[in-house]
Amino acid sequence: MQAYAIYALKRLAQFVLVVFIGINLAYLISHATPIDPVEQTVSAATSFGNASPEAILMMRASLRELYGLEGGAVSQYAAFWRRVLVGDFGPSLSAFPTPVSTLIGRALPWTVGLLSVSTCLAFALGNLLGGLAGYFRESRILKLAGIAAMAVHPIPYYIVAFVLLIVFGYLWPVLPISGGYRINTPWGWNAEFVLSVVTHAILPVASLVLVGVGGWFMGMRSLVSNIVSEDYVVYAELAGVSRGRILGAYVMRNALAPQVTGLAMSLGSIFNGAIITEQVFGYPGIGTLLIQAVHAGDYSLVIGIASVSIVAVSVAVLIIDLLYPLLDPRVKVA
Amino acid sequence: MFTVLRDLLRYRTEFRFGAILTGFIAAFAALSLVSPYPPQDQFVVPPDLPPSWSYWFGTTSRGQDVFWQLTFAIRNTMLFGLSVAVLSRLVSIAIGMWSGYKGGIVDRLLMSVNDTFIVIPLFPLLVLFYFVLRDRMSWPLLALAMASLGWAYDARLIRAVALSLSSREFTQQCVFSGMRTREIVFQEHLPYVLPIVFYTTMNNMNWSIGLEVTLSVLGFTDIDTPTVGVMIYWANQHTALVAGVWWWVFFPVLFVMILFIGLFLLAISTNEYIDPRSRLARMGDVSG
């Protein structure tokens, strides 16, 4: 138990470091550039009509306060951190006066749902097929599956999602290609609404799984093909343990530990993929919100989403890290 | 390094395939040098023509020849990927080799910073970067930003190789014969690290090209320079698919997919070659 506590503390320290560096990067990017977001917003707001100089001055002052750009560098930095820690990024400019946190809170469940379903599916499918392909190396079907996974894997999320959109949007329109649920369907736990949520999720999930599966497949296959030549596996085979048991309990069980570490490592890039996939399919999550915010010039919303994404991904990584000892008992001893 | 590449070309099907695909795309990009039209010019050919003998890949709604436009786009995209890869190699080789050679507390500190950069979702940060720069966004700036964010995963791989080298006997001998750390790392260790550097370069190019396409398609880059992403962006702006101008989207997507698969095959076949265990497994396959 004590060993686990030390391990958990280390992971917690890493979590704090990730959030610290991540938020500092966001601060650096948003403040170290020569462009003043206040002037940008002012010029965007005044380009449509002629505002009086007094009105512009007032607007400038209130925007400075709103964006936390008052005072010197130290107080701006402190204000930035306070916003992140409290989770209050001020009102959104494009959906005034709704607070940024409300907008993000509304979008976050969609992203979390999409991400967790597709990551679990891709991870399970890729590892299972990869394990089989590493163990039954002569199988034609598994070799073909390997080639297919290898062909799709290097293609970025955007292109895969885009191709799926073309195929199911224009060539063979059977699935909904936009939105998170059917419009005008009342919210609630009834069959109709749940079904519309599921059918709308099929294409985004499919494109995330298609890209994701290849990495797990190849990782698992090479791990398994190294483990099968280990002495204890050869011994088990000679002792007549059934092949299913060898593959499940002896080989894949051991290969799973590095794969879970890999999952924690790649969560950030999977998140990037989810953002872009959401945008392609108009899914009402964080990604679509972020891109809308950029187009609308909504400074506080963009900063809010960037900060929340960093914190959310780090929390997910921390959860995986804390659960990892269940899978790898060596952590408890060491 | 070069004998490794020669062996790979001779004996590995994946590597040969990757080299052919990447070479084909690179040759296509080189055609931009003899393009009859400057890349920025519009309405130099009749718009919206389907592929034909006179316009192999058709023409765009902006009156550009898709074939020649794509040569520029591929060239710029590849150059962008290459510059991000080279720039970020500087960081990842330095961090990876230093961390692996020093070991101990230095290694642990550097690697926890390193893991941080692996975990942080970069896409929102790059979008934020575009958001504050807007019209001043340029390709060199974007390459610099992506290189300074995207070195971490490769540094970890390089560090693993450097770590195993630092405990080898010849390193001890170098230390005892009075070589300085810098000399050991750059003269003795670097040659062993180069194959993995090659592998990570290909991987990093895929990563940066993927992000380039993604950011450009959204219009979050300098959209006046043709790249693959920018071409798709303009096609979407003109609703090319709804209007039936499919060739405007199809050829960029097809070519960039070939490039991705080519670079990826180069990367994984090198990586398998480096890993002695899978090399042994292969030799077993051949004899058995």
Read off the pLDDT of residues A280-293 as tens digits, 9 standing for 90 and up: 888 899 999 999 88
- For residue B252, give the nearest of B239, B233, B267, B266 by alpha carbon: B233
Residue B238 has pLDDT above 80, yes or no: yes
| Residue A52 backbone phi and psi in degrees, to 5 | -75, 150
The model carries a pTM of 0.86
What share of chain A has pLDDT > 90, as a percent? 23
Shortest CA distance from B213: residue in chain A: A158
Provide the pLDDT for residue B251. Answer: 92
Alpha carbon of A61: minimum distance to chain B alpha carbons (Å): 19
All residues of chain A having their beta carbon less than 8 Å from the beta carbon of residue B122 are 268-269, 272
Provide the pLDDT for residue A97. Answer: 77
Least confident of A31-45, B6-20, B265-279: A31-45
Tell which CATH architecture fits domain A100-327.
Answer: Orthogonal Bundle (1.10)
Provide the pLDDT for residue A332. Answer: 62
Q: Does A15 touch chain B (CB under 8 A)?
A: no
Read off the pLDDT of residues A185-215 as tens digits, 9 standing for 90 and up: 666 777 778 888 888 888 999 999 999 998 8
Residue A99, helix vs strand vs coil: strand
| Residue range B2-287 in CATH 1.10.3720 | yes
Does the distance separating the beta carbons of A305 and B125 come in below 8 Å? no
Provide the pLDDT for residue B147. Answer: 92
Read off the pLDDT of residues A231-256 as tens digits, 9 standing for 90 and up: 888 899 899 888 888 888 888 888 88
And the tokens for A113? 């749902």
- For residue B117, give the nearest of B153, B77, B69, B68 by alpha carbon: B153
Does the distance separating the beta carbons of A150 and B128 come in below 8 Å? no
Read off the pLDDT of residues B210-236 as tens digits, 9 standing for 90 and up: 999 989 988 888 888 899 999 999 998
Residue A91, helix vs strand vs coil: strand
- Helix, strand, coil % (nearest 5) of chain B? 75, 0, 25
And the tokens for A279? 């945008």
Optimal mutation site among B115, B119, B134, B242, interface A, most CBs of chain A within 10 A: B119
Q: What residue segments make up the domains of chain B, in order of their start?
A: 2-287
Residues A212, A270: contact at Cβ < 8 Å?
yes
Read off the pLDDT of residues B13-55 as tens digits, 9 standing for 90 and up: 888 889 999 999 999 999 888 888 888 778 878 888 888 888 8
The interface predicted TM-score of the complex, written ipTM, equals: 0.85
Residue A297 has pLDDT above 60, yes or no: yes
How far is A192 from A128, CA to CA, in rounded Å?
A: 33
Read off the pLDDT of residues A72-128 as tens digits, 9 standing for 90 and up: 778 888 888 888 888 888 777 777 778 888 899 989 999 999 999 999 999 999 999
Compare CB distances from A33 to B121, B132, B149 and report the shortest one's residue. Answer: B132
List all residues of chain A from 126 to 185 with a beta carbon under 8 Å from chain B: 150-151, 153-159, 162-163, 166, 170
What share of chain B has pLDDT > 70, as a percent? 94
List all residues of chain B from 153 to 192 with a beta carbon under 8 Å from chain A: 153
Burial A79-91 (b: 16+ CB within 10 A, else e): ebeebbeeeebbb
Q: Quick one: average pLDDT of A143-147? A: 86
Between the alpha carbon of residue B185 and those of residues A53, A279, B100, B190, B191, the distances in Å are 63, 45, 10, 6, 10
All residues of chain B having their beta carbon less than 8 Å from the beta carbon of residue A313 are 119-121
Which residue type does B135 have? Answer: D
Read off the pLDDT of residues B159-208 as tens digits, 9 standing for 90 and up: 988 888 888 888 888 888 888 888 888 888 888 888 888 889 998 999 99
Q: Quick one: average pLDDT of B78-93? A: 94
How far is A173 from A196, CA to CA, in rounded Å?
A: 16
Residue B87 has pLDDT above 90, yes or no: yes
Q: How many CB atoms sit inside 10 A of residue B243's CB?
A: 12
